[in-house]
Structure 1
């Protein structure tokens, strides 16, 4: 099937945009490059995304949503909140490390794109802290966490663990001893939340 005989969807455009960004980098990737890779006119791309900035924001959101979706199942699970919190934080750290280590060029591209897409990043952080809030709220309901304001507690946990998920710290995620530092911080956070 040739590219032009496929139905052009927003998802297909985002898939190809990611490949174009990987190939050309954020400074040189254009809507025309995306259209060319799809075998369509750039006007066809603009029918789905009105501007280059909107397209870049959408591809950034798609990238960030992969992490949020992977963590949502842990947050919603019906099991011990302490174990869920540990698993959630470990999964977040692991997801961020995989993104930075498996495809460093694409990770660098997304570092540029997330700097441009403040609203998208803000929504991502809000989603993650909402997931943490659910875990802490469930812990309070179960009597294992003491937090007068689960949402404030979630924001505090997110900020306290930033060294292990904020992409600005990515160069440190492979150094010796990082796993032990992470485990010590998670233990401290869980002890701090206990009733």
Structure 2
């Protein structure tokens, strides 16, 4: 008996198709063919090619949210949690760029098409940072008048280590040291 057609199966097949054909040539018909179903079956789950591509982009960006949220909401001092959160984000982005460069290039195109998805992702990331900063302020560890504004500034200050536009730099010698210097700087700046 064939596996039921689910949104998850469709998204997994879409990733494979995008990896093989790239975003310019991948079609819903290719996804349906990979699943052994009609393209109409795919459209019953995702109303358009754009909706399918947006869902794939969302899924890709959401993969890091759970891990990072666990770090943001963990117990303990905010300073080490902030450093761990930034390091986990950097590691996740590096893995995505280095482990599967074809799919990463595809996602760069998809992310460009789905600015709303990207904006929601960034807001989720900044909210997590704000929770860390806020807990540090409450515990007297950090000094910040507005944790949300401080979180946005942290996001901007560490852009080199998570914005895919900088992916080519992530494997260069010295990048880990540069990351540590930036972390030390922002943590010193936040200390109460």
TM-score by length of 2: 0.99
List structure 1 runs of 4+ shifted beyond 3 angstroms: none
Which residue of 2 is the match for residue 103 of structure 1? 100
Q: Distance in 2 between matches of 1:27 and 1:20?
A: 11
- Does the alignment pair 1:25 with 2:22? yes
Task: Tell me, in whole angstroms, the C-alpha distance in 2 between the residues paired with 1:140 and 1:130.
Answer: 15
Alignment equivalent of 1:172, drawn from 169, 172, 191: 169
Structure-to-structure mapping, 1:6-17, within 5 angstroms: 6-17=3-14
Deviation by residue 1:97-120 (Cα, 9 ceiling, x = unmatched) = 111001111100000000000000
User: Within 5 A, what are the aligned runs for 1:54-93?
Assistant: 54-93=51-90
Q: Find the partner of 1:131 among 128, 133, 144.
A: 128
Unaligned runs of 5+ in 2: none
Counterpart CA distance in 2 for 1:187 and 1:96 is 20
Pairwise CA distance, 1:67: 1.2
Q: What displacement does 1:69 show?
A: 1.6
Alpha-carbon deviations, 1:133-175, whole Å to 9, x = none? Answer: 0000000001000111000000000000000000000001111
SS state at 1:26 partner: coil
Give the equivalent residue in structure 1 for 2:110: 113
Number of residue pairs the alignment of both structures matches: 192
Question: Please, which of 136, 158, 183 is the counterpart of residue 161 of structure 1?
Answer: 158
User: Match of 1:193?
Assistant: 190
Matched residue, 2:119: 122
Which of the numbers 52, 63, 70 marks the counterpart of 2:49?
A: 52
1:187 counterpart SS class? helix
Question: Which digits, 9 at most, give the CA deviation of each residue in 1:17-51, with x for residues without a partner?
Answer: 01111111111100000001111110111111111
Q: How big is the alpha-carbon RMSD for the aligned residues of Structure 1 and Structure 2?
A: 0.7
> Which consecutive residues of structure 1, in runs of 5 or more, have no partner in the other structure?
none
